[in-house]
Chain A
Amino acid sequence: EVQLVESGGGLVQPGRSLRLSCAASGFTFDDYAMHWVRQAPGKGLEWVSGISWNSGSIGYADSVKGRFTISRDNAKNSLYLQMNSLRAEDTALYYCAKEYSNAGGIDYWGQGTLVTVSS
């Protein structure tokens, strides 16, 4: 059974940093690209960042580029999101997500970790 378990969310002040983690199990982690997708309270889905199976290809949404860094450790079956210079508009539920295939959509999602940016 595929499982994606996010951790690291919480309340943080504007301008501070936070690191999200995602522990993956139930599939061959280093065969798949992985993504972070967020959802602000009461709003729609927003793709945040994605990383290829070997970290050779990485992408970011314009809204987070230069502030967020995605990474993965295939030996630990883990995905990370380092978030710096956080803003109030980064407040959201952050989902870890597994790509089905090359740009083939997302077939598994975690339950999300909530990040609240507020003073």
Chain B
Amino acid sequence: SYVLTQPPSVSVAPGKTARITCGGNNIGSKSVHWYQQKPGQAPVLVIYYDSDRPSGIPERFSGSNSGNTATLTISRVEAGDEADYYCQVWDSSSDHPGYVFGTGTKVTVL
């Protein structure tokens, strides 16, 4: 089955830029979606189709995808960005197509 690997944690100072990677075999050929999840809350879609932002998501959130790595970038990080972040793809390559989530990254704002 398809595996998505994320760093367990990323720490960033307020006002700086956080980059969260999502590694997968030839992930650049797939569409990647990103979710933010704060403690005790349901996930929220922050990026879809690699780099599109849903309405209401700040422009500080951006995404890219190429080769074997997709990246979620959070610019001008704020305290409210502290959360777990998950990448996701649709894996149609296996006998059992379905969504696959990354392992998750905890973003800590210093």
Q: Identify the A interface with B (CB < 8 A).
A: 35, 37, 44-47, 49-50, 59-62, 65, 95, 100, 103-107, 109-112
Question: Secondary structure at chain A's binding surface: helix, strand, loop or mixed?
Answer: strand
Cα of A55 to Cα of B92 in the assembled complex, Å: 18
User: Which range contains the number of B residues in contact with the other chain?
Assistant: 20 to 34
| Known contacts A45-B104, A62-B1, A104-B48: A109-B98 contact under CB 8 Å | no
A-B pairs with beta carbons under 8 A, tally: 67
Beyond the given pairs A50-B99, A104-B48, 14 more chain A to chain B contacts, judged by CB atoms under 8 angstroms and listed by A's residue number, are A35-B99, A37-B101, A44-B84, A44-B101, A45-B35, A47-B100, A100-B45, A100-B48, A103-B90, A105-B33, A105-B88, A106-B35, A106-B45, A109-B42
**Residues of the B chain whose Cβ atoms lie less than 8 Å from the Cβ of A62:** 1, 96
**Residues of the A chain whose Cβ atoms lie less than 8 Å from the Cβ of B97:** 59
What's the least CB distance linking A118 to chain B, in Å? 22
Cα of A77 to Cα of B37 in the assembled complex, Å: 26
Task: Judge whether B48 and A46 touch: CB under 8 Å.
Answer: no
Task: Judge whether B42 and A95 touch: CB under 8 Å.
Answer: yes
**Residues of the A chain whose Cβ atoms lie less than 8 Å from the Cβ of B103:** 44
Q: Mark B40-56, 1 if CB is under 8 A from A, else 0.
A: 00111100110000100
Cα of A95 to Cα of B54 in the assembled complex, Å: 20
Cα of A106 to Cα of B100 in the assembled complex, Å: 12
**Residues of the A chain whose Cβ atoms lie less than 8 Å from the Cβ of B88:** 45, 47, 105-106
Q: Mark B9-52, 1 if CB is under 8 A from A, else 0.
A: 00000000000000000000001010101000011110011000
